[in-house]
Amino acid sequence: MFTFVSLIKFIVSFLMIFTSSYFISAIFSPKAKDGASKYGTGFLYILLGMFAQTVLTFEFLSLFKAINEISVLFCNAVFLFLTLILWLKKGRPLYRPQFKRTFLKILKGLKRDKILMIMAFGFVFFICVTVIMNLFMPVSSYDALTYHLNRSSFWLTQGSLNHFVTADDRNLVMPINSEILYLWVLLFLKNDIGLSFFTFFGYIASLFSVYNILAILGFSERKKLWSLLILSSFASVIAESSSVETDILIAGLVLTSILLFLVSLRERKIGLIFFSSLAYALAMGTKTPSIIAFPGVFLLLCFFSYKTDKKEFYKPILAYIGFLFINFILFSSYNYILNFMSFGSFLGSESAREIHGFRGGVKAVIANYIRYIFMMFDFSGFRYSEYVGEHINNAKFALFDLLKIPHELGVEMSDENIINNRLMDVKMGAGLLGFLVFLPSAFTSLIVGFCNRNKKKAYALCAFAFMFFFNLFCLSFSLAYMVFSVRFVTFLIVISSPVLAVSYLSQKNFMTALVKLMLLFFVMSYFLVMSTNLASRQFSDALKVVLKEPTLNDAREKIRCALFNGYEGKMPFCYLRDIIRTTPKGTKFGIFPSVNSRLYVISMLNNEGYHIEVLLPEKAPQYDLSKYDYLITTDKVLTSSVLLSKTKDTKVEYKINSDGEAYFDSIRPFSCIYADHYSHMPYDPSKKGQVIVTSSCYIMNDFFKERGFSYVQSYDFQSVISENANFMTIYKNNAK
């Protein structure tokens, strides 16, 4: 657990970053005569300033391998001093949040519709639950422990953002901005407490932006509130707001970019265009779907610019593109450059490009588009799919058959044609409201807006609807289809959510009341029930653990390590962590991981006085292992998506039989087999067109014995879930 001193240092860093960002907001955000910022830009400027300053600080220090507490605090102080001087020179302007005025306006809108008022109570309950969970729940998801937090913990150890030794190439090739935020917390607290708040504030920024976008377009208070409440009740939005998944975070950044651009068209201030481009640049450095969605967002900005400036629409667009290029270089290009230096491509390694890359031609684009549309039929939390799921799938297959498209064309990771009804974070879509409200709203906005181009509001919503369907098209040819792409669809839904305004029914009649009551049932179900019963974050069970354990830290670790319902059991890497803690501090461990190793819980031991180094299995014969006190293998077969060489340069020592299986002429203490992506069989250098995506290495006891190590013990963790099954073996250096 973090100490009081470390907490004070983090608070000091936070306050310096916040204060300097406040100065920036006070200086540059457009204001009304009473000093209030227009359309909430002051609040968004503060969030952008804090995010951008943190990213720039860590990227700058990384160049000198100087990421440490003193260096970060020094940079924070420099930023604060410079912004303070600028603030004083500008006459000490103030940004005054209008909390009371906004609250009264919202309250007035709620009072005019009892359904909205009831939804608002559910919303407040959901927000309270989310804040509480973000305060005490540990980060425990598979992606976080193998990738998101794992890379931050390695950066913390090495003092830079440079690439490091790992078996999972996601740690190296993916954008890094959100993990820089996690690193900021880990640096001071040596603990992941509160990290979900970064996504939560992305969610708040999304609501803030949608509300003000609709205000600019001239929609009533009730329609604005309806849109926010429906958006907030989407299943995937509820799930991600208390997680470290970044789809809602980048949605908040993209919506902020759109809002600030719209305000710039009104205020005629180029500073707004700069901050608009900054928001999008930060999104590009956070997750790749923002890059995929850029063509659609760009067309949206061009549309609004043309509607405002007619023939001179290109001027704000050119300014936006110019600022976006500068901001991307400053705030988002760091890891793309590292990718080019390490792999010869800005997009990452050969295996990463192969696995995630689109394939299948024009028919695969059509197939993916159909799949993404049908992905909207999500029943998260409701069992209705057991009755209608088969019919939904039959409709999808009928379209494939009509177009003569193979059912699995372009698929990298299948959803097994299962219509989701579970509350599992990574597979949750928007829920019932996605296809009951959002999809009809998008189609309605598209049709009505196109047919009524003289009506400003309808035409504007038509542009947002077009952006959604166009972005789905861009997604369809950008990536291979995976079941986990449902999170990307969530991102596209959120940035297109202003179309929800069209679904508000203001007429007072029996049918309208019936429809609104039905939607109220689903909204309240998600707010009150689903928010507390997510598969990985059962609120009541977690609360029991917190009340039972002697300290909050003990409760968090029990929850993080749990395998079963009720937070019972302990996952393999927590067992391994506890074993390492029984050795004297300063003990040196070399660990050979696999691609699914939850190394975060191990790598953080470097901050407790232990010395943990990760070793690439494929490179085992090349290491000087004598410097380690212990060596650990995390599985019998160690699979890695990080490879020593490209496919064309890889030399294999195995042979291929007539069935395509690999074999060796004799038993070897160390051996590796490489997997081809397309055939899912061992790589055969005699065949053309194959691409290696993983290595699978087997290291026998004799290999370590020859190098002066003796076998200590093996731990066989068995599970029907492959990610929870490990066969760990520990070896001791005989010379130490």
Question: What is the rounded radius of gyration, in angstroms, for the C-alpha atoms of the chain?
Answer: 27
Retrieve residue 82's tokens. Answer: 């410079």
Task: Give the list of residues 6+ apart from residue 217 with CB closer than 8 angstroms, or none.
Answer: 456, 457, 460, 461, 498
Name which of 498, 581, 505, 627 is nearest 209 in CA terms.
498
Mean pLDDT for 393-418 is: 92
Question: What Cα–Cα distance (Å) separates residue 482 from each residue in 411, 485, 673?
Answer: 6, 5, 25
Retrieve residue 181's tokens. Answer: 């935020």
- In the DSSP assignment, the letter for residue 537 is E
**pLDDT of amino acid 388:** 94
Q: For 391, phi and psi rounded to 5 degrees? A: -70, -35
Question: Rounded CA gap, 175 and 332, in Å?
Answer: 8
- In the DSSP assignment, the letter for residue 648 is G
Helix axes 221-232, 99-111, angle to 10 degrees: 90
What pLDDT digit, counting tens, does each position of 428-441 carry?
999 999 999 999 99
Retrieve residue 70's tokens. Answer: 């003193």
**pLDDT of amino acid 1:** 62
**pLDDT of amino acid 721:** 80
**pLDDT of amino acid 35:** 64
Mean pLDDT of the chain: 95
Give residue for tokens 């849109």: 227
Name which of 262, 331, 318, 322 is nearest 290 in CA terms.
331
Task: Look at residue 426 and tell me whether its pLDDT is greater than 70.
Answer: yes
In this prediction the pTM is 0.96
What pLDDT digit, counting tens, does each position of 49-81 carry?
999 999 999 999 999 999 999 999 999 999 999
Retrieve residue 366's tokens. Answer: 């059509």
**pLDDT of amino acid 506:** 86
Long-range (24+ apart) CB contacts under 8 A made by 703-710 are 703/620, 703/669, 703/670, 704/625, 704/631, 704/731, 706/669, 707/625, 707/626, 708/625, 708/626, 708/733, 708/734, 708/735, 709/625, 709/631, 709/733, 709/734, 710/734
**pLDDT of amino acid 175:** 97
Confidence of residue 325 (pLDDT cuts 50, 70, 90): very high
Domain boundaries, given as residue ranges, for the chain: 1-97, 361-506, 571-733
Confidence of residue 568 (pLDDT cuts 50, 70, 90): confident
What pLDDT digit, counting tens, does each position of 152-202 carry?
999 999 999 999 999 999 999 999 999 999 999 999 999 999 999 999 999
Beta strands in 496-634 (DSSP E): 533-534, 537-538, 588-592, 611-614, 630-633
Question: Rounded CA gap, 523 and 206, in Å?
Answer: 18
What pLDDT digit, counting tens, does each position of 635-689 carry?
999 999 999 999 999 999 999 998 889 999 999 999 999 999 877 789 999 888 8
Question: What Cα–Cα distance (Å) separates residue 331 from each residue in 52, 60, 217, 323?
Answer: 7, 10, 31, 12
